[in-house]
Chain A
């Protein structure tokens, strides 16, 4: 059966598996399933992590080198491009499965260690320096002295439901997805359930929108279902514009069929015969893979007219636009799809009543929809059993910043921040003390050490004044400056505001300016600038309040969160910036003060000559001295000193 992925017979049988549903698969079909699950293989398979994260780490080059290696040694192996298992910091990942043995994963593979790894595996030994772990299998013999993937700290505390196939199956082979029970829930739904029933199941499961608002998905669907109209639309939002969030991209690149199946079930539940997958133009690879997946699904008759003789029609189209943060707002997204300027509008009417082309429309986040096949398979009660009282299921987070492991993780709702950062994330490198974690992207809030026991769910976060957002977690250690982070987010927001309402457009600009002024030295010492700056801070709070209560959409309403959070939790740090003009972390460049280590200074006078403000005084061959008031913190002396005598305080 080798190299036989596209045999018509297998296609036929796979289609049989789909159409049969209730009866258990017969022997022949089991064989197909087993084949596509790679349970019994004849030739080695090499799984190369080829999502965007893998590709930028050099997977494309590795691909060629592996081919060359296989050619030289005459090994009849296949290379499968798989997606991302979430361990972005370990890319490129290469999994190798040789007949009879379990699949074993190697991290940070490069041209230097590739030959060693391949030599080892094909000679039945594993070089443990590079190994990440092996995948458990009932049918295959495990490698000795090699940890199982799921026992690694990074994976052990995760609950990978949406991400279950990511990095495991090939995104380009639909049969692999079907072999993992794919599409059967959808076929079952359209054949045996009324749309109303599907809505009830989702309502019962308690699934809430993963885009940030946390609105109950089932209720949203029902609103659209009960609105009578000849045409309805389902829109899957995969625009994903938070800086440092990339889970939608990873899911589309790694497991596109989950997205399609989720969309298909949702479309059926609301009675939409047309669905739109919206993603940002920059996601080239994701678009490519989604297009291929849609094509394959069409060939199987999973999309199109009268799907599996159920009478249900569905077309899914992919639409792209240059990414914009505001597109996270559903009305802005709809305007964008209609070819208008992406401005949010006042709700009501809600899109479920009047959305795309004035027709009932449901806009769901990609991660919300990715949950749907699982709920349909295992039932709402199973889903309710995961998570907390108010927040059910799991949540995907992007863990970035100062942790050992960074990447995409999925945990059950209610997992604490401590577990995520210190166990899954592996803590902070070099044992630098933890300072804060910024939850929820640009509209989010920074949480300090005392909030580390906060449970990651909608209510838990709300209690400490944060919100889930789209699930970004940025860990900051003691070398990070909170003011600088807040300023970064405010700068992002002032450019990503749609520019329509005054409070958001003008307010974010002024807040950014006030923050920036604090991270700088006063231009003129003689004026009462410290007082002015202090007044600025006082205004920040009142301004933030007005922006919050008068803005139209979520972006504006939450735009002041980063500022309010540092004012509340890092007041001393802010005050240090204002009164002492000191950034302890040394991040705010213009506040840096340089000192000369008199023991090291040889009095070469180079720094004194280079200093643009003549702040360095001293006589040749004697140690020099920096006049603090004159120093503008440009750092030229620091860079020019050959004797490492200048340091920052």
Chain B
């Protein structure tokens, strides 16, 4: 039901039951917010969105107050502005004054609020909370002294992801966001998906970076730096430069990476193809033998960590294939050694991922060969953008280039890995061929496409009706597992992505306030699926060569598990 309210002496339409903020936003009136998260229930913690309502003695938080018909609202009266400014000043009074050194400098919501409200003097002096920097976790650094206690990380972790690593601890002035028993992050149940980093308005959460080491390596002639780049990076990185989301910059990106000084530039998409093919083979075997079903993907390291922590009984059901990044890492080092006689210790293998959990995956103990890491460093999309800036490279200028061979060719299915449902779709394309010996008549599976958190499809493949479900975020998985347990649903393949929407919305992607960015990134990927003719992993001609390399190794020595992933129960404080 629509009714009219008065805002700043103008009539606007509001819907019954919505909050004041939602009515204002729909009518193009903006009010500053800090703790507000569009998809979640409001907490009204920051009070930044207060507005003045005629007849109310107090200022009303618009994010959590239902709109009513009699309301006469003023969003920017002197009283409101004074209150907001004081709130920002209070926050700044307990914030380290080190913006210039902060990772979020120029990209910080608190900084923006301070500048919007014209804060020009330090009115409040006094003690600042001193809290310890937590660098224990491989991908994520937490600086609690920069925390403004908006609670967005707490809510994203518990309500969207479903892990609840963070919670408010203590009370009053000692309130802080912390982990269970205040343990460091590496001992907590954090699955390192990095969604909290995307939510954090300040520099309290950020990915761990080691630019100086990289910079040094790039200019060290002794070392052979190579890089692989995930397909989800190229559709998002441009947003860091203020370019509207939705354009794919893969070719230009490859060219720019070579300009920085990487000797070889590979496409992780090739790894996706091998992964899809192997998973399909594995799944076909399991379906024929009817064992260890449903099978789960293991290419999302955050999901793998979750399974190791919470669902150790399901670990045998995880696909035993390495993730594309680690597969590529192994292949790159192996190939450069056999083809160019470069010893693996001399190679510095970097990967660019839309993900923070990949940083965790790269340093897992089993991801090494003869004590040499397969992937030496993982950069996020954001970090790559910083690297370009550091080296003065505008990647949007110049000519497109191709990835280096022998891993240069890839199917369009490989690109789908970036979206929740994409892994399942690429696996299905190859699975059909594996199970029936003929190609899938219609390779597109629209039912598991899109940004929905849960998508499922049943496809008849020869004698088997294959049930596939794709879920993003583990909170959705918990629901699906309950259904499976109760016998309500039967699936053969369950694809789990830790981040909502999949890798295009990974914890390493650019910060964006654009609600349509995700859809645009997704569209760019689906568009690229239309372009090429090779649409399935098993039809990738390059794979044969890679497979030969793998098989040679498998036969060659005892380290036959080099391409197989192992998982084990992980005890953390849950």
Which residues of A are in contact with B by a Cβ distance under 8 Å?
A: 324, 326, 341, 343, 345-346, 348, 493-503, 505-510, 513, 539, 542-543, 546, 548-552, 557
The verdict on A503 contacting B87 (CB below 8 Å), with A498-B171, A510-B93, A510-B124 known, is yes
List the B side residues contacting A510 at CB < 8 Å: 90, 93, 124, 126
Q: Are B58 and A326 in contact (CB under 8 A)?
A: no
User: In the complex the two chains form, what is the Cα distance from A501 to B64 in whole Å?
Assistant: 13
List the B side residues contacting A509 at CB < 8 Å: 94, 126-127, 173
Q: List 28 A-B contacts (CB under 8 A).
A: A343-B43, A345-B43, A346-B42, A346-B64, A348-B65, A496-B171, A497-B171, A498-B172, A499-B168, A500-B43, A502-B48, A502-B149, A503-B86, A503-B87, A505-B149, A505-B175, A506-B93, A507-B90, A509-B127, A509-B173, A539-B124, A546-B82, A546-B83, A548-B58, A549-B79, A550-B47, A550-B83, A551-B58
Which of B43, B66, B94, B173 is in CB contact (< 8 Å) with A495? B173
Which chain A residue shows the least CB distance to B92? A506
The verdict on A551 contacting B173 (CB below 8 Å), with A506-B93, A513-B126, A546-B86 known, is no
Q: Are A546 and B87 in contact (CB under 8 A)?
A: yes
User: In the complex the two chains form, what is the Cα distance from A548 to B173 in whole Å?
Assistant: 18
8 additional A-B residue pairs with CB within 8 Å, beyond A496-B171, A497-B172, A508-B172: A494-B172, A494-B173, A498-B172, A502-B46, A505-B175, A510-B93, A513-B125, A546-B86
Max count, chain A CB within 10 A of own CB: residue among B167, B168, B170? B168
Which chain B residue shows the least CB distance to A547? B86
Q: Are B58 and A501 in contact (CB under 8 A)?
A: no
B61 on the A face (CB < 8 A):
yes
Q: Are B47 and A499 in contact (CB under 8 A)?
A: no
Which residues of B are in contact with A by a Cβ distance under 8 Å?
A: 42-48, 50, 57-59, 61, 64-66, 79, 82-83, 86-87, 90-91, 93-94, 123-127, 148-149, 151, 167-168, 170-175
List the A side residues contacting B151 at CB < 8 Å: 500
User: In the complex the two chains form, what is the Cα distance from A497 to B170 in whole Å?
Assistant: 10
Q: Are B124 and A557 in contact (CB under 8 A)?
A: no
Q: Are B174 and A549 in contact (CB under 8 A)?
A: no
Measured CB to CB, the closest approach of chain A to B154, in angstroms, equals 10
List the A side residues contacting B125 at CB < 8 Å: 513
Measured CB to CB, the closest approach of chain A to B149, in angstroms, equals 7
Q: Which 10 pairs between the two chains have the least Cβ-Cβ distance?
A: A499-B175, A506-B90, A495-B172, A346-B64, A513-B126, A546-B86, A550-B47, A346-B44, A497-B172, A509-B173
Measured CB to CB, the closest approach of chain A to B476, in angstroms, equals 22
Q: Are A324 and B44 in contact (CB under 8 A)?
A: no
Measured CB to CB, the closest approach of chain A to B46, in angstroms, equals 6
Which of A324, A499, A503, A507 is in CB contact (< 8 Å) with B149? A499
List the A side residues contacting B91 at CB < 8 Å: 502, 506
Measured CB to CB, the closest approach of chain A to B17, in angstroms, equals 11
List the B side residues contacting A493 at CB < 8 Å: 172
Would you call the interface of chain B mostly helix, strand, loop, or mixed? loop
Q: Are A345 and B126 in contact (CB under 8 A)?
A: no
Measured CB to CB, the closest approach of chain B to A522, in angstroms, equals 14
Which of B42, B43, B59 is in CB contact (< 8 Å) with A549? B59
List the B side residues contacting A546 at CB < 8 Å: 82-83, 86-87
Q: Are B172 and A505 in contact (CB under 8 A)?
A: yes
The verdict on A502 contacting B90 (CB below 8 Å), with A345-B44, A346-B65, A495-B173 known, is yes
List the B side residues contacting A499 at CB < 8 Å: 149, 168, 170-175
User: In the complex the two chains form, what is the Cα distance from A628 to B440 in whole Å?
Assistant: 95
List the B side residues contacting A549 at CB < 8 Å: 57-59, 79, 83
User: In the complex the two chains form, what is the Cα distance from A499 to B174 in whole Å?
Assistant: 8
Q: Are B149 and A550 in contact (CB under 8 A)?
A: no
Q: Are A508 and B173 in contact (CB under 8 A)?
A: yes
List the A side residues contacting B126 at CB < 8 Å: 509-510, 513
List the B side residues contacting A343 at CB < 8 Å: 43, 168
List the A side residues contacting B175 at CB < 8 Å: 497-500, 505
Measured CB to CB, the closest approach of chain B to A89, in angstroms, equals 32
User: In the complex the two chains form, what is the Cα distance from A506 to B88 in whole Å?
Assistant: 10
Which of A496, A501, A506 is in CB contact (< 8 Å) with B94? A506
List the A side residues contacting B59 at CB < 8 Å: 549-550
Which chain B residue shows the least CB distance to A326? B171
User: In the complex the two chains form, what is the Cα distance from A420 to B291 in whole Å?
Assistant: 82
User: In the complex the two chains form, what is the Cα distance from A499 to B50 in whole Å?
Assistant: 18
List the A side residues contacting B42 at CB < 8 Å: 346
List the B side residues contacting A498 at CB < 8 Å: 171-172, 175
List the A side residues contacting B83 at CB < 8 Å: 546, 549-550
List the B side residues contacting A550 at CB < 8 Å: 47, 50, 58-59, 83, 87
Measured CB to CB, the closest approach of chain A to B95, in angstroms, equals 10
Q: Are B171 and A542 in contact (CB under 8 A)?
A: no
List the B side residues contacting A500 at CB < 8 Å: 43, 45, 149, 151, 168, 175
User: In the complex the two chains form, what is the Cα distance from A499 to B177 in whole Å?
Assistant: 11
Which chain A residue shows the least CB distance to B68? A348
Measured CB to CB, the closest approach of chain A to B50, in angstroms, equals 5
List the A side residues contacting B167 at CB < 8 Å: 341
User: In the complex the two chains form, what is the Cα distance from A549 to B87 in whole Å?
Assistant: 12
The verdict on A539 contacting B173 (CB below 8 Å), with A499-B168, A510-B93, A550-B50 known, is no
Which chain B residue shows the least CB distance to A349? B66
User: In the complex the two chains form, what is the Cα distance from A348 to B61 in whole Å?
Assistant: 12
User: In the complex the two chains form, what is the Cα distance from A346 to B42 in whole Å?
Assistant: 9
Q: Are A346 and B61 in contact (CB under 8 A)?
A: yes
Measured CB to CB, the closest approach of chain B to A295, in angstroms, equals 34
Q: Are B47 and A505 in contact (CB under 8 A)?
A: no
Measured CB to CB, the closest approach of chain B to A148, in angstroms, equals 48
List the B side residues contacting A507 at CB < 8 Å: 90
User: In the complex the two chains form, what is the Cα distance from A549 to B46 in whole Å?
Assistant: 13
List the A side residues contacting B149 at CB < 8 Å: 499-500, 502, 505
User: In the complex the two chains form, what is the Cα distance from A542 to B87 in whole Å?
Assistant: 12
